[in-house]
Amino acid sequence: MELNNIEKSNKPAKVLVMRALFCAVLLLMTPGITIAADNRHAAEALLKDKLDSVILILQSKNLDIQGKRNEINNIVTPMFDFSLMAKLTLGRKYWPGLTKEQKGRFTVLFIDLLKDTCLEKISLYTNEKVVYQGTVKIKNKVHVETDLISGNSTISMLFKFFKSSNGWKVYDLEIEGVSLIKTYRSQFDEVLRKGTIDDLLLRLEKPEKN
């Protein structure tokens, strides 16, 4: 009888312990949820800050076109991981086969090309309205979807971020569903299937002649 009484007296204690463990698990899980939300908001906040600054530059009447491009370049460049984007355009199919010198040369040339392209696309933002449609976290990446509304037309732009050691960085940009990385990868693949990496480098060095 005494043993039975002891077991019965321990049941409430066991219930309390289980509840305490359950609460502890919830407390451990909650910060993770908060961090995930903070990550999404941090990437979106960074993009909003950059685009707001870009729009102010584009609306400025004190700068000429080149002056605006220089200012926008200074604002936007830190947000992009251009070196990673260069690597992604060649992918596993070609990048590992390049020498160190070729990788360095290609990266420099591609960054120049990509900066011009990104500056051109971002310059679409002037007096139009920018609407943020949502932010989605996919593993360690964050996608921020925006719409550029001008009159009756809407242009969708999807900024893809990843968390680097230096904060959130854009690794790809989709315009109307078309990825910059995939577009360049397709163009470069066409050149490399018919020629060599030196042919591609030559085209990047002298695009006006091709």
Domain ranges in the chain are 2-209
CB count, 10 Å around CB of 143? 18
Distances (CA, A) of 62 to 73, 120, 125, 128: 17, 20, 18, 20
**Residue 163 and residue 43: Cα distance in Å, rounded?**
9
Architecture of the domain delimited by 2-209: Roll (3.10)
Q: Confirm if 179 and 172 have CB atoms less than 8 A apart.
A: yes
Q: So what's the pLDDT on residue 188?
A: 96
Distances (CA, A) of 131 to 41, 57, 65, 74, 128: 15, 19, 25, 24, 10
Per DSSP, what are the bridge partners of residue 146? 132, 157
For the chain, how big is the Rg over CA atoms in Å? 25
Q: Mapped to the 3 state alphabet, what secondary structure does 104-156 carry?
A: HHHHHHHHHHHHHHHHHHHCCCCCCEEEEEEEEEECCEEEEEEEEEECCEEEE
Task: Supply the pTM of this predicted model.
Answer: 0.76
Q: Confirm if 160 and 172 have CB atoms less than 8 A apart.
A: yes
**Residue 130 and residue 157: Cα distance in Å, rounded?**
10
**Residue 76 and residue 10: Cα distance in Å, rounded?**
64
Q: What are the helix and strand counts (H, E) for the chain?
A: 6, 5
Q: So what's the pLDDT on residue 30?
A: 37
Per-residue pLDDT of the chain (210 residues; tens, 9 = 90+): 444 443 444 445 444 444 433 333 333 333 443 344 556 789 999 999 998 888 888 888 898 888 888 898 899 889 999 999 999 999 999 999 999 999 999 999 999 888 877 667 666 666 667 899 999 998 889 999 999 887 788 889 999 999 999 899 999 999 999 999 999 999 999 999 999 999 999 999 876 544
Q: So what's the pLDDT on residue 52?
A: 87
Per DSSP, what are the bridge partners of residue 157? 146, 175
Q: So what's the pLDDT on residue 7?
A: 47
Q: Confirm if 107 and 86 have CB atoms less than 8 A apart.
A: yes
Q: Confirm if 147 and 130 have CB atoms less than 8 A apart.
A: yes
Burial 155-181 (b: 16+ CB within 10 A, else e): eebbbbbbeeeeebbbbbbbeeeebbb
Q: So what's the pLDDT on residue 152?
A: 82
